[in-house]
Structure 1
Amino acid sequence: MTISREDFLARVVERGEYRGEAEADHAARVVLGLLGEHLVGAERAELADALPEAYAGPLRDAGPACEPLTAERFVQAVVGWIDGATAATAQWDIGAVLSTLADLVPGQLVDRVVEQLPDGYDLLFGHPLPA
């Protein structure tokens, strides 16, 4: 069972301390679309299945990235898609969206997703891997 769009967005608004839903909605679509470019296979489908369609689409429908982005370059990519963003605010946006997503899916799925990605994404999900 997936969470409703309203519930997902409310969680992102709260985590990101956004002034309104529009700001959180844009951040969620940007972050999930960029994440979708870097995931393949069952993990991408399982993550999308846990989301309301409004947010599953950007994750599921993203084309493959030309090259994998390090966690730092992922943050910079988000900066490029959100007007007025800085590295610090983009990292905040990413954390609000990905930690909300991580709360909705089993930890084992988050671990499998993070294993597909370059080092550092575990921290973006708020789900640090053991040292």
Structure 2
Amino acid sequence: MLMDVFLKEVRERGEYDTDDEADRAARVVFALLGAHLVGGERTELAARLPETYALILLNPLQAAEPLAPERFVRATAAWIDGATNETARWDIGAVLSVAADAAGADLTHRILTQLPPGYDELFGRPTHHDR
């Protein structure tokens, strides 16, 4: 996906005023996400992203363990100046929903199986479980 197309989608979904705001959110989210993905799925996702974000995803921040979704939100908020957990969740949703569209259903499903339960909502793909 081309950078301008990706940023346009993130900007629209995140309701950002500028490309810089959308870019800042994408850089943080991919740096954190990359620490939680391994193997072919991380490489496949990177191949479907603009090069800038692919490189960030492939050279992530280090994580000792996968973060639960709420901890991922808090970590994102900590990396974005002035962010709250609520605005970070919004940023994550804008970025990851565009990434999921670029990845397609199969790859997104394989990515979600690597992550702790609850990331499906962050990707804009809530899973409905029968109770």
Q: Which residue of 2 aligns with 1:88?
A: 86
Q: Which residue of 2 aligns with 1:98?
A: 96
Cα distance in 2 for residues equivalent to 1:91 and 1:122: 13
Contact 2:32–2:61 (CA under 8 A) maintained in structure 1: no
Q: Which residue of 2 aligns with 1:114?
A: 112
1:3-82 equivalences in 2 (<5 Å): 3-82=1-80
Unaligned runs of 5+ in 2: none
Q: Which amino acid aligns with 1:34?
A: L
Identical-pair percentage: 57
Unaligned runs of 5+ in 1: none
What TM-score, normalized by structure 1, do the two folds share?
0.95
Q: Which amino acid aligns with 1:124?
A: L
Cα distance in 1 for residues equivalent to 2:128 and 2:15: 28
Cα distance in 1 for residues equivalent to 2:117 and 2:106: 17
Q: Deviations over 1:82-117 (max 9, x none)?
A: 000001000000000000011111201101100100
Q: Which amino acid aligns with 1:60?
A: L
What TM-score, normalized by structure 2, do the two folds share?
0.95
Stretches (4+) displaced over 6 A: none
Contact 2:34–2:60 (CA under 8 A) maintained in structure 1: yes
Q: Deviations over 1:58-81 (max 9, x none)?
A: 111115411110000000000110
Cα distance in 1 for residues equivalent to 2:106 and 2:122: 16
- For structure 1, which segment, 99-108 or 71-80, has the greater mean C-alpha deviation from structure 2 after superposition? 99-108
CA RMSD for the aligned pairs? 0.9
Q: Which amino acid aligns with 1:85?
A: A
Contact 2:73–2:88 (CA under 8 A) maintained in structure 1: yes
The number of aligned residues is: 129
